[in-house]
């Protein structure tokens, strides 16, 4: 999963249109600094990038906990979290689960706060118990759809971001069968 991500993210980039500023391996300067890296972004090592990804985009947002229930969903949330922020990816999951709970008869609605906690995991467990492994496909479709709409909204608000839309759609959105 991490190797595929690094391949998608590529190496050092400093596009004037990228709001993240200088990045390396897809890690923004701000994220690297928050993780304790203070060097030149061109010198960020692959190992340091992997350490940041594991902690900040897999362990801390609890996508690992999701992987114990649905692996492909967790990988989707991870990738979406890298590109849009873990809270955004988590809100996509929470919104989908709220929409799938049949008027709160399957499990209670939750606040879409972008934090995976007991309520989110309990809802995911109840959903999986009701829908089984096949339910993962539906969650993937709903998360993927929200991600696609968000990309379009980003470009509508800032036309400079349109130069990234094709790559986002080609590399981040997936066909879910």
Q: How far apart are CA 164 and CA 142, in angstroms?
A: 22
165 neighbors 151 (Cβ within 8 angstroms): yes
Q: 177 pLDDT exceeds 70?
A: no
Supply the mean pLDDT for the chain. Answer: 93
Give pLDDT, residue 116: 98
Q: Over the stretch 15-49, which tens digit does the pLDDT of each residue have? A: 877 777 899 998 999 999 999 999 999 999 999 99
Percentage of residues in the chain having pLDDT higher than 90 = 79
Mean pLDDT of 7-19: 82
pLDDT band at 3 (very low <50, low <70, confident <90, very high): confident
Give pLDDT, residue 39: 93
pLDDT band at 4 (very low <50, low <70, confident <90, very high): confident
Mean pLDDT of 7-12: 85
Give pLDDT, residue 10: 81
Give pLDDT, residue 99: 97
Note the maximum CA span of the chain: 53
Q: How far apart are CA 128 and CA 23, in angstroms?
A: 37
Mean pLDDT of 132-138: 97
Q: How far is CA 85 from CA 150, 151, 174, in A?
A: 12, 13, 18
Q: How far apart are CA 48 and CA 69, in angstroms?
A: 28
Q: Over the stretch 50-86, which tens digit does the pLDDT of each residue have? A: 999 999 999 999 999 999 999 999 999 999 999 899 9
Q: 151 pLDDT exceeds 70?
A: yes
Q: 145 pLDDT exceeds 80?
A: yes
35 neighbors 55 (Cβ within 8 angstroms): yes
């Amino acid at each position: 999963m991490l190797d595929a991500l690094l391949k998608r993210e590529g190496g050092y980039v400093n596009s004037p249109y990228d709001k993240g500023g200088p990045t390396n391996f897809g890690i923004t300067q701000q994220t690297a600094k928050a993780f304790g890296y203070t060097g030149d972004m061109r010198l960020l090592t692959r190992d340091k990038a992997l350490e940041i990804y594991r902690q900040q985009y897999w362990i801390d947002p609890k996508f690992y906990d999701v992987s114990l229930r649905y692996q492909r969903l967790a990988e989707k949330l991870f990738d979406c979290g890298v590109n849009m922020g873990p809270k955004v990816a988590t809100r996509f999951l929470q919104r989908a689960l709220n929409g799938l709970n049949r008027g709160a008869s399957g499990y209670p609605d939750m606040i879409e706060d972008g934090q995976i906690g007991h309520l989110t995991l309990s809802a995911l467990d109840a959903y999986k118990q009701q829908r089984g492994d096949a339910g993962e496909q539906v969650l993937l479709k709903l998360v993927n759809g929200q991600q696609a709409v968000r990309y379009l909204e980003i470009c509508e608000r800032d036309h400079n971001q349109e130069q990234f839309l094709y790559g986002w759609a080609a590399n981040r959105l997936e066909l879910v069968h």
